[in-house]
Structures are given as C-alpha cells and as structure tokens.
A = this chain, B = another copy of it.
C-alpha cells in the first residue's frame, strides 16, 4: 500500500475515526492488514485491531504474529474472545493455544463452546511434527447416496465456515473415507447423478502420524489443493489445505539452509530473532567445527619438519583445502537437495557413487591442468613440487566428491539428518584428508623425511 494511505490509517486510529478508517480498510487485503499490524507497537496494534470490522477481524487475527495475538487476547473482552475462538479454523486455534501461557489458555477455552473446546483438545494431542498437528476440521463431508443437487443444498447450508468447499469428502456412517469429489466435478455433472457414481475412489491421503515432510512431498508431487488425514481405522479426522502448506514448506527449506550452513534452525525470521537467540543458534556448530579443525591443525604439526625444510609447501594449503571443500560441498548439496525432494533414495547410492566418481575425475583433471600450467610458469625448475601439488589436488577432488556424495545417503541410512552432513562437516573431513594426502605425497616425492 502507499505510504500516504498508511499514515492516514494510523491517524484515524489515533483520532478514533472509525468511519474513515474502515473506508480504507475495506479496500485492503486481509493479509496486508495483518502485515501492517505486525509492524505496529503493541499498544496501537490492539487499538487498530479492535477498530476492524467484525467480518474480517478473525481472518486478520489468524495472520498475525503470535506476540500480537497474545497481546490482543489479553486486551479484549470474553465475548470478543468467544467470537475469535469460534470462528478461527481449528489449525489456527490450536497453533494459538499451544503458544499461550496456561492461565490465558484457560480463559480462551472457557469462552469456547463445548464442541470447539473438545475438537481443540483432541487436536492438541498430535505430536509436533505430524500431519495431525497441521490439519483442520472445517471440511465438507458428503454421503455416497446423495445426488449432486442434494450435495449442493448441503454445501450451501453448511459451507459458510468451511476452510474449503473445493474438495468434498464422502464417508460412511462410521466416518470411513470412501472417496473424494471436487466442486468442479459436482458443477460439471447433472443434478440427478449420484455422488457414488462420480466420486474418485483413488484417494491420496495421509495418516495423522505421518511427518510434515511426507505431507509436503505428497502435496508437491500430486499438486493438491487439500489432503485428507485419516486415523489408524481409516476414519477421516481432518484435512490439510494447500495454503497452510506454503508456510510449512518454506520453513522446511529455511531449516535445510540453516542446517547446511551449520546453524540450529530458528523459529522466527531473521529480523525478528534477537542477537542472543541468533548467537545461541550459531555457537554450537561453530564450536564443534572449531574443535575439529584444531584436530586438522594437529595433523599439520606432524609435518612441521617438512615445511621448515620447504616453507613453500605451506602456501599451497589454502588452495588444496578450499578446493577440496568446495568440490565436496557441491556434491553433498546436490545429494541433500535430491533427498529432500524425494528424487534420490537410499538404493541410488551406487548410481551416486559412479556419477560422483566420473564427475570428480573430469573436474580434478580440468583443475589439475590449469594448476599445472600456472605452477610451471611460476616455479619452472621445481617439477617434483609441481607434481606434488597437482597430484594432491587431483586425489583431493576425487575423495571430496565421493565422500560428499555418499555422506548424506549414509546419514539417511543411519536415520540422521542429511542436511547436517553438508558443507561444514564435509569441509572438516576433506580438510583433514587433503592435508594427509598432500604431505604423504610430498614426503615421498620430495623425499623430505
């Protein structure tokens, strides 16, 4: 929105000019309104929120940061709380309840209807990383002997507060999921046709216990709008909608980026995370990697003699370890990403091995040639030294790429997180190996010992 309109809005909030305020608000998207409130100071945010028209306030609320939600819940009346908790979709209500302090939770649930309270309590039981924890309960359920016409009447009657009408779920009397029928199918079929004859019985579904990652991969593979969630007895307990998956998927990718750059995943966006919190996420891995690179350093101390005889040897160390690290993290990154997208499976490890071996020979050769030419120009007399460096480089690239390719798959086999195996760890391993290779070759070729 334009800065001008934004300033006017704030002015109307301060002067409590509801009429002019709502004139602007009515032409705004609810998500933009939420973004705006998220940027305000707490006090004015509450006033702003309470001036919103009832029709949109719950939708705006569901898009607010948890801090703003907390402060608003604290500030509003029991009646307003009732309005919010009844109209929020179950998934948003559960997210809110999970973040509130116990006494506030009690106040919120006391102001909810029995039905709402029961559903929320039921949903709170699902473990944090599961499909159950992100599903919602507002879906359309149909019976298989309904006609298209009856279905439309049903949808018109009960559709008001449903998160989506576009996919309807057909169940029997015990809530067993029998099929799905899209609103698109309903609309393209005759009034008299039976749901039984047009519903799709190849149902793509997940179990409440399935992980978020599984849910994301299924959404992406089948390009779904909604995904039904069933319990162990195949009874429908909720649905997950594509719009809720967007945030979950972005968080998963961000987590992978963070892990691959040796950080603990953060809960909030960068600008909203405190310096202390950021440091807490970064120090553990920095510490681990610092200590392991000390070990690498101690490898060097074994060869002190070699480089006190030939100090020139030291100047090639950064080139060797950096190139090895880069070559290795190229490989590990591609494999980790492939695993995350479900493209690379454990059984593909032989293919990966062959591919990385082939690629590393080509890369190692290309780098070796350039290095050779450059060193022959700079140190024309020292053929054995040049050979030592070029040979070490070649072997380092091969080892780096093969390890980089296999390490993430190995981690997955051991049920560890492949992303942790990325750049930082591979760098440390390759550093140590490249130094050992380098000095082994140097000692032998240059007869330094």
Contacts and interface: CB of A to CB of B under 8 A. Distances in A.
Q: Looking at chain A, what size class is its interface with the partner chain?
A: 35 or more
B359 A275 contact: yes
A335 interface: yes
A271 B326 contact: no
A299 B121 CA distance: 64
B321 A312 contact: no
Contacts of A431: 318, 322
A12 interface: no
A355 to B, nearest CB: 6
A114 interface: no
A316 interface: yes
B183 A159 contact: no
Contact of A159 (B184, B325, B332, B355): B184
Interface stretch (A87-95, A123-131, A228-236, A285-293): A285-293
Contact of A156 (B187, B254, B367, B427): B187
A17 interface: no
Contacts of A424: 326
B187 A283 contact: no
Given A183-B183, A359-B278, A283 B366 contact: yes
User: Could you tell me the dominant secondary structure of chain A's interface residues?
Assistant: helix
A130 to B, nearest CB: 22
A374 B300 CA distance: 17
A51 interface: no
A53 interface: no
Given A297-B319, A326-B424, A344-B271, A363 B261 contact: no
Given A166-B184, A262-B330, A355-B278, A297 B323 contact: no
Interface in A311-354: 311-312, 314-319, 321-323, 325-327, 329-330, 332-338, 341, 343-344, 348, 351
A164 B152 CA distance: 19
A27 interface: yes
Contact of A160 (B188, B327, B363, B367): B188
B159 A187 contact: yes
Interface in A148-172: 152, 155-156, 159-160, 164-166
A269 B345 CA distance: 13
A325 B58 CA distance: 46
A261 B362 contact: no
Interface in A252-272: 253-254, 257-258, 260-263, 269-271
A160 B189 CA distance: 10
Contact of A319 (B271, B290, B355): B290
A367 B286 CA distance: 8
A323 B362 contact: no
Nearest to A404: B261
A323 B293 contact: yes
A175 interface: no
B262 A242 contact: no
Contacts of A164: 184
A285 B326 contact: yes
Contact of A28 (B202, B261, B289, B334): B202
Contacts of A315: 297-298, 300-301, 304
6 contacts: A257-B337, A262-B326, A275-B355, A285-B326, A300-B314, A304-B315
Given A159-B187, A275-B359, 14 more contacts: A29-B204, A220-B246, A220-B250, A223-B243, A257-B336, A258-B337, A262-B326, A289-B322, A293-B318, A293-B322, A300-B318, A307-B307, A317-B317, A322-B427
